[in-house]
Amino acid sequence: MDPTRQETGDITGTRDKDYNLIWFVEQCLSNVLRLDTYVADAERTGDSELAGFFRRAQGESRKGAEQAKDLLRRRLAA
């Protein structure tokens, strides 16, 4: 993406910064779902260390999604 391009929202109808927050939430939540598979794979092979690592990463992704949703709510309400 060209960093000199002005934010307009002409194409999507949503300003870039709001779209970026929406995208970030979706990516975080998608990551939570993907990591659930990774946890199950690690558990299936008895690797509790790796399962724990993926669970922690999953928690961080949830936290990121919640923080972005809160920020988006505040910005859209203004």
Q: What is the pLDDT of residue 55?
A: 98
pLDDT tens sequence across 27-56: 999 999 999 999 999 999 999 999 999 999
Name the pTM for this structure.
0.78
Which of the four pLDDT bands, split at 50, 70 and 90, describes residue 72?
very high
Contact present, 42 and 50 (Cβ < 8 Å): yes
Please name the residue ranges forming H helices in the chain. Answer: 16-44, 48-77
Distances (CA, A) of 42 to 24, 34, 59: 26, 13, 17
Domain boundaries, the chain: 18-77
Which of the four pLDDT bands, split at 50, 70 and 90, describes residue 76?
confident
d(CA 41, CA 69): 29
